[in-house]
Structure 1
Amino acid sequence: MSFRETAHSGTDPDELSEILSTPNSPIKVAAEGNMPIAYRCNFVSVGEEVTVADCTYEGTILIRREAPSDRMIVFLPMEGNASFEGMREQIYSVPARGTILEAGRAAGARLFGPRRHFGLFVDQAKIVSHLTHMFERTISGDIDFHPHIDLTNGPGLVLQQIVSSLHRGLSGDGPLQRAPLAVSSLCDAAIYLLLESCPNRYSNELALPAPAPAPRHVKWAIDFMQEHIAEPISLSDIAMAAKVSVRTLQQGFRQFRNTTPMSYLQDLRMAAAHRDLLESDARQAIADVALKWGFMHPGRFAAEYRKRFGQLPSQTLKR
């Protein structure tokens, strides 16, 4: 898994145009009334399909997209307002309310500084791929997400926490750069959270019961997890190995294991962390073992470890 961080700051609209543009979707930025503007943007890319950003703007900034984007963008504002030119109406972005812009759905924007937001950029093809694995059939056309999501509680609050954790953990020499298992899980969690919790064209179908699983599908999934336990495998990867849709796989683990596939995988990785601590010398940092197996919060890791093994990681390490 590759990570790439780029940080920019300045006052030149033309430079900001270059920063926000992609090869397939150039952007033109202007300052309203030629008044002063300022910006500070930090982008971290996970491979080629997912990017998270923390951006701050001053002044009133006009943005015009000169070709449709091939990415879905989710803005999670903390300060200031913005408006986007949707296909049928203006879409307003304000603190406590996230904005979901599907690929090709917004041609322009106006940012009213001071403005700060986190951004989540996901290739539309990756969103469609996840949805395809959920149904185990080809998905085509727009997903038609409702453009707003409440960030004060529920799925919206969780999404904001995921994106901020990704950005904070990957920026600079953040600990998530040494934890590809955790990064993969967080990226997947953000996408599935959007698909399952934000109203869209497939919401009614997603609410229907999944096709009935068989015990063998769960066994195939577990075999795949154990074989690839140290790799950043996704829920879609596990479902493909089990030869069922993601929804059927989830149903199978609920029915036969009373848990979820990703929780089961986390349990396997917790057991692997336990083995590492038993076999390691006292010089090995517990945080390094936790990160190796995808646990990014040392405190939570210690609490879950104690619940599972009846002792703290430090007690295992001293044995």
Structure 2
Amino acid sequence: MLTQRFHEERFERVEDLDSIRDTVSRMIARHNISLAEGTCLDANLRAYARKNVSILTLGYGAAVNINVNPPPDRVHVIQIPLRGAAKVASGRAEIVSTSEQASVPDPVLGARMSWSADCEQLIVRLDGDEMKRHLQSMVGCTTIDNIRFAVGMDLRTPQNRTWVNAVQLLLGDVRARSGIMNHPLLAPQIESVLFTGLLLAQPHNYSELLVTEQDFSAPRKVRDVIRHIEEHPDLPLTVEQLAEQSGISIRALQKSFYKTVGCSPMAYLKEVRLRRVHDDLAIADPRSGVTVTDTALKWGFMHLGRFSGAYRERFGETPSMTLRR
């Protein structure tokens, strides 16, 4: 499994359609591809992949039609034309993707695409479960369904331009091989920039919730409760205590919390605690005597069975796996 360094694959002047299709299917998502009549394939691919992120530059050297079925693992694919153009349809949305507009096909609906013969694209593949975990962390709630981005990505906006620049910076450093992006301590942070940056820059079905999270006009009492939870997640907090401290009823606190944050105060507390456990385990040296049990108890998890299940659902691995990494 790719977990630490970016793994490179490179193909030049490929003329076998099945070969390039199988490689791209493995790197991004399974698809069918056909050549426009009277054209000959002359494909070039350069790809770098880790567990949660893949970055490719791809050109077919011919006009091609591509049909992508909804991938079972719900990956998010951002396609940025470096030259040429591509028609992209996903669900009812149809766009012409150029150097000014990237495409983000809906992973639930799949896509139909037609690339021009001179089209070459910078493609970023982001793991869907990891994207969901980043959004959950940003909004402090675990009730997140499929994330569905707008298909067209306007590359003229400062936010999206910055995101593409981050991708290109990462790509250039990884290609250099001696760069710092392959360092196991830094690479996950760079990955986080890509996931979080896309969630903030590109519209999606949870964008309004993110805006609410950053709205400083949110009720002051809710902000005070959030601050108290963030500062003291190790304390045996209850919703009754939080309501009493905020000076409002439990019902009013619950309702205001859902409206502002999207989940209950106790769900938010659980999320904060899970993040603190994960952070402690991620930096701990197993040889130092640190244990999963002690760390979980430190952050207020008294029922270790339920904690382990919640941790695995939240981070996609067991606490002991995080500790051993």
- So what's the TM-score if we normalise by structure 1? 0.63
Q: Which has the higher strand share?
A: 1
Alpha-carbon spacing, 1:174–1:52, altered in 2? closer, same or farther (3 Å): farther
**Cα separation, partners in 2 of 1:164 and 1:59, compared to 1, 3 Å:** same
Residue 30 (str. 1) matches residue 65 (str. 2): no
Number of the residue aligned with 1:141: 145
Q: Summarize the Cα distance change of 1:25–1:148 in structure 2 as closer, same or farther, 3 Å threshold.
A: closer
Which secondary structure state, in structure 1, belongs to the residue aligned with residue 197 of structure 2?
helix
| Aligned counterpart, 1:77 | 81
Which residue does 1:101 correspond to in 2? 105
Whether the 8 Å CA contact 1:168–1:174 is kept in 2: the answer is no
Contact 2:21 2:33 in 1 (8 A): yes
Assess, with a 3 A threshold, how the Cα gap between structure 1 residues 154 and 209 changes in structure 2: closer, same or farther.
same
TM-score by length of 2: 0.62
Conserved 8 A contact 1:217-1:242: no
- 2:70–2:110 Cα contact (<8 Å) kept: no
Q: Distance in 2 between matches of 1:238 and 1:116?
A: 45
Partner residue in 2 for 1:4:
7
Counterpart residue identity of residue 5, structure 2: S
Alpha-carbon distance change, 172 to 7 in structure 1, aligned in 2, over 3 angstroms? farther
Letter in 1 for 2:149: F
Asked if structure 2 preserves the Cα contact closer than 8 Å seen for 1:54 and 1:119, the reply is yes
The residue type equivalent to 2:276 in the other structure is A
Contact 2:140 2:272 in 1 (8 A): no
The superposition leaves residues 226-278 of structure 1 with CA deviations (integer Å, 9 ceiling, x where unpaired) of: xxxxxxxxxx99981189xxxxxxxxxxxxxxxxxxxxxxxxxxxxxxxxxxx
What corresponds to 1:126 in structure 2? Answer: 130
Cα shift readout 1:170-207 (whole Å, capped 9, x = no counterpart): 12524135433332222111111111222111111211
Which consecutive residues of structure 1, in runs of 5 or more, have no partner in the other structure? 222-235, 244-319
Which one of the candidate residues 61, 66, 69 is aligned to 1:63? 66
Q: Would you say 1:13 and 2:48 are equivalent positions?
A: no
Residue 217 of structure 1 corresponds to which residue in structure 2?
230
Q: Is residue 41 from structure 1 mapped to residue 54 from structure 2 by the alignment?
A: no
Secondary structure of the corresponding residue to residue 123 of structure 2: strand
Distance 1:41 1:139, change over 3 A: farther
Separation in structure 2 between the aligned mates of residue 24 and residue 159 of structure 1, nearest angstrom: 20
Instruction: For residues 87-124 of structure 1, give each alpha carbon's deviation from its aligned partner in whole angstroms, at most 9, with x where no partner exists.
Output: 11323211121211232332332111211221110111
Q: Is 1:241 paired with 2:244?
A: no
The percent of aligned pairs where both chains have the same amino acid is 15
Measure, in 1, the Cα distance between the counterparts of 2:91 and 2:109: 6
Mark the CA change 1:145 to 1:177 in structure 2 (over 3 Å): closer, same or farther. closer
* Structure 1 residue ranges, 4+ long, deviating more than 6 angstroms after superposition: 236-239
Larger CA deviation: 66-75 vs 200-209:
66-75
Residues 131-176 of structure 1 deviation map (CA, whole Å, 9 limit, x = unaligned): 1112222234332211122223411111111111111211252413
Could you say if the C-alpha distance between residues 52 and 178 of structure 1 is closer, same or farther in structure 2, counting changes exceeding 3 Å? closer
24-33 or 145-154: bigger deviation: 24-33
Aligned to 2:320: none
2:78 counterpart letter in structure 1 = V
Root mean square deviation, CA, Å = 3.0
Q: Which structure is larger by alpha-carbon Rg, 1 or 2? A: 2
